[in-house]
Amino acid sequence: MEESICDSFEKRDDGIWVATKPYDVPGPTGMPIRVGPGMEFRLGLQHMGLDIANWLEENGCG
C-alpha cells in the first residue's frame, strides 16, 4: 500500500507542520527537497524555494 504524503507530516495546534519521518518533497526546480524528521514548516515561509506548509495543505493534508 502506498503511503500518503500526509503520513509523513503532522500539523500542530499552533499551525506548524512537522515532519514525522523522511520524505522527498517535489521541489520547484524538479529536484526533490529532502525533509527529515523534526523539521518544521510554517505557512508563508519558503524552504529551498517552496512553501512546504502551503504545499501540504494544497495536497489535502490540512
4, 6, 34, 40: which is closest to 22 by C-alpha? 34
The distance in angstroms from the start CA to the end CA of the chain is: 22
Helix (H, G, I), strand (E, B) or coil at 61: coil
Tell me the pTM.
0.90
Over the chain (62 residues), the average pLDDT of each successive run of 10 is 83 98 94 97 97 97 88
| pLDDT attached to residue 4 | 85
What is the reported pLDDT for 28?
Answer: 92
pLDDT reported for residue 62: 82
pLDDT of residue 2: 56
